[in-house]
Structure 1
Amino acid sequence: MKKKILFKYILLLFYFIFFQSCNFHDKENNNIKPNLDSLSLWIKNSKNPKNSLIRKRQYLDKSYNFIISNKIDTVNLKKLSDVAYQTFKVKDTFLFKKRNKKVIELALKIKDSFSLGDAHWNYATYYNKIRDFEKSYYHFNEAEKYFKNYKYYVGKMLVGKAFIKGRFSDYIGSEQNIIKAIKIFKELKKDNDLLNSYTSLGVIQSDLKLYDKSLFYYQKALEYSSKVKNNSKLDLNNNIGLIYLKKGNYQKARLFFDKGLDLTLKQDKPLSYARILDNYAYCKLLIRDTLGIKEDFFKALAIRDSLKNKDGILISKIHLAEYYKFSEDTLKAKKYALDANKIANSIKNSRDYLASLKILVSLDEEKSKLYLKDYISYSDSLLNVERNYQNKFARISHDTDEYIEETERLAKQRIWVTLISLSTILIIILFYFLRVQKVKNEKLLLETEQQKSNEQIYLLTLKQQSKLEEEKLKERNRISEELHDGILGRLFGARVGLGFIEINCNEKNKKQYQLFLDELQNVEKEIRDVSHKLSDNFDNAEINFTFIIKQLVIDKSKVGDFKYSIYFDENINWYQIDEVVKVNLYRIIQEVIQNIIKYANATLVSIKFSLKNNNLVLSLSDDGIGFNIKKKKNGIGIKNIKSRVQKLNGICKISSSFNNGVEINIEIPLN
């Protein structure tokens, strides 16, 4: 509790010092009363990439408060619109909407058409970013109306509207808007905007499959790229390469892609480098030159993945699917095609979604009809969607009020659909999780029961073996008694009887007689020795357990091709050791040897049983490859060993290092 209180005081102290330093810095900057120059400086600092996100927001807050607290005129309103846009740039969506709404309210009051157009442009940019193209087009259209006296900005709005129309295959409408914008930019000599406009025209012609016309516009864009200072030439070369790729002129396409494969581009513009590298590899695939293209595909994918460029990742996976299809690796081709299909669906990329379906049709014979059906269905629905959007864009230009009502209704509907979908998904995930847990619990229960059953079977086997040994012992004692009391007694009687018989014969016969008596005596002695050996009792429990262990090691040594040494301390009274302990010791040795065979590549295995302070000690070691205990997590085998030792209230120590084998020491208390 004391530590928590101390920690809170430290946090409060840090908070006080930090914000006091910030306030001091602000006061230092505000010794002179803030003016328009100060405001311009704050806005400039909010755009400085060297400043942190928090610092940028502080500058924007100061700028906003300063503008609101002063008289609103056209100059301040333009700056307020800039503050709202920069708030969007620092990813504060809620505050951006609030401030942009304030701009529109104030602009309507003083009838500032430029600020109204700028505010609608801010909204258009925001909704374009979140892919709400209907609202984005509406605000571009509104901004164009308010910018009617500002030609350059009218051109910018035309380009924005053209982009959205192109997204929904309204290529004619898109082309018309771009051409109108080009006329404005030419009149105003805006080379950078002309470069972008001609590039857009090239893209439109490419989508219309008018490749020669597309090349014409790209060449025009190249002319303007030489007049501006940027890296647009590299992207243009990539686009031109794609046109030659679509025309089937792969060698020429390869030349244009090759121009962009510069290592400096990899550092300065990694996304452009990844795009060119991927297209270059794909071009080589089409001309059946597969040398190094797999590595290039994966390099491009890695860059795009690190930058979370979903559109790029999607293209990379489509190209990888085609590569593995060419390599006749159907499984991998299908995997990447399915990945591409999911990504395209998630980011609503219709073109590449259809492309992924097309690949899947050729890869999966079982589902080809289903994929083909989806392809046709989606293609048809896409045409309907595009027509609907084109009609909506036309209606927006004539009746914005109707559009607002419709989009608000659709927005609410989307919210409900999203909420219902999320709720359904969460319920499904919950049921799935519960099901998985139930299956796991059942599996663990089954394994526990199986383990108990195995131990019971082993105990019964030991008892059966013990009874068998007892019967053997009884039989040996019976034979010993028969030899000693029966046969030996009769032989003794016969020998004694022969000794009393007087034989009157020559010296030679007497010697022969004496030899027979001696031989009978020797036979008696041998029978007596055999009888004594048979009657010697021994610890059958010791023989049972040690025999089973030895037999286990012998059998496993043949499988694992290793030598072994086994030592049993003679002071261990196996008869007094509990059968459960024996069962677990047997299972531990079995598990260790199995691991040695699978992983260790050992040539010698040592097993030793000894006594230490009334503890039974089992030591197992091998001369195998070993492993790093710190790096390698405990596997199921090691967990089972430790679990068995813990169940017997014992201690288990495992030591190993690379190329030094493994040593396991187990101590189990004997009650």
Structure 2
Amino acid sequence: MHRFIVKTHFFFLLLFFQNHLNAQEIEVKNITLNHENLVALEKTQTDNLFDLLNNNELEKAHHQAKRLLKVLKTKESYVRIQLLLSHYYNKKTVLDSMAFYADKALKGTESIKNDSIRRILAASSYNLLGLSSNKRGLYESSKKYHLKGIEIVEKQKKGYPYYVNLHGLANIYSKLSDKENAIKYFNQCLQYKEDEEIVIGSYINLGSIYVENEDYETSNSYFKKVKAICKEKNNWQCQALSALNIGVNYVSIDNIPEALKYYNECLEICKKDKLYIIQVIVNQNIGEILFSQNKYQEAELYYLNALHVALEYDFLEQQKNIYLKLKEIAVAKGDYKNAYGLMTRYSEVKDSISKMQNDQDINELDIKFKTLQKENEIKDLTLKNNNKMLLLKNQERAIENLNLQKAIEKKQNENEVLKLQEVTQNKVNQINLLQKDKELKESEILREKQVRNIIIIGFLVLLIPVIALSFVYYQKQKAQLLINKKQQEISAQKNKALLKDQELKLVKAEIEGQDKERIRIAQELHDAVGGNLAAIKLQLNNSTYGKENEIKRINTQINDTYNQIRSISHNLLPKRFHQDNFCEFVEEYQNKLAEASHIQSYFSAHPRNEINKIDELILNEVYHIIQELITNTIKHAQANNIELQLNLIGNLFNIIFEDNGKGFAVENNKEGIGLTNIKNRIHQLNGNLQIDSTPNRGAIFNIEIPII
């Protein structure tokens, strides 16, 4: 600008110095004009990126936005790029990043001087923050953001920033069950014809409200109309929402086949276009239908699919609802332990939502305080600008007076211009001398560069061997780490082998004890009972029945033999549960084996006293059955958890044994000696055995023995 003034008014150079203030004012105006042009140019660039985003060229828009962010010069364009990045993460359903860039855009608007642009961009930021809170299930926070967005542009011409926040507010009122306000604001949104998405969204939400009024026919007519429009425009998200709502309506009128048809169509669209939040909802809806049909396994699968997406993308409200429903399925299946865990996760997510809601309220108060401070600063700046305007008006009057003096002093300046020409010639000579000095300095700089390059090359020559030695040292360390890791693995395998040996020794000792007991019983039967029976047989053969003394003697020997058999039978029972303590002994036996094998064990008996009073012969067989079950689990199942339940229900003794080991296919399983012994003992007691097991899912043995 200075060069322009010198060239145009060269002959009035002295007058230029007198009018220097006027020239500065012209220069300021010219800089403002250049700024406006720069804003317009950068706005065109950001608008092109928004076009890419709207055409679903998400990655291309994201890449160009990151690159453009490095070269932007104006605050307005910086804020627009932050808004674009927030929209990008909204489409990706990455809610944390969406809220981060929206908040960054909002803070950037504070430094924009143009009030109209600042308000529009701030309203857009509030809308994105409201949408992020809405998708997280933080409805009150979302409502506050949308109200701020409406308030900030309400006094301007009502355009997109106003109606997009109005649509978001109507959506929140609908979720908060304020149907009157929701219908009112959705109808207002229908008046804005310049944005198709707002109109379509309003129709969809109005259709949803008709659903709640149980007018399903009218509701479906809205949804099918919107679905046709969206299909024509290739709007996948809109199609998915329409199909979802039509399916919900068909469920309400018990037309399940049609409902599943539209749900499956919606699911395909969601997977194709990565509409994660809708994918979560439609999986929940299909799961609800299957649950109502008592298809618990299939219902659980759909709910788990929904939970996987909700956890990945931090949908807190959906996580809460899914955990609650999975709990109901677990209860229906009788899996109360899993139900308790799911209820715990439900409470944790619910508490997390409450905490985030409180944090949002605190942030709102902080923003309100900062906004009030900014408004006061703006008032002060406005007052200062008014004072500057008055000063500029006074300066303009001074400029008019100077222009009058210009005509008077014109002739005087012509003489002085000649003198200035001579001065200019001297300046040209000085410039030539300076040019020569510059060339000398450039040659010196060139030599310095050459010396610096030589130093760098020498440094690199030294650096390369150092890097090579470092790499060799790194490889050596890496090899040493691998050796250490292998040694740790070998040690772990040795420990496992020792533990397994201990387990086998316990089992072997128990089997040896059983063998010794069998030998002892055989000896007693042979020596005592066998001898008595032989004596009785001889006496019967050698005596007559008429002799009363002989008959009494034989009767006495028969009684002795009976008592010996009874004593041997009693000795078959473990000595520790002779005195009505069968349950306590079994529990102690189970815990000792489990502790030695590093297995968690659980035992329950109901009612204990009644079970302890069951016939000793039955308890003896049950004890050996339990021994076989625990031994087989330790040897073969690779379980880390076993559970034994004893229940006496009327005249039925029920034994349930469960482990979480590797399981087996019941229909393909080859019975070993242990399982055969178990079945034989149960058969002798006229009992019944049911086995429930699949590979990698553990095993459950359910035994029922009648008590006569």
Tell me the TM-score normalised to structure 1 length: 0.43
Higher normalized helix content (fraction of residues): 2
Tell me the TM-score normalised to structure 2 length: 0.41
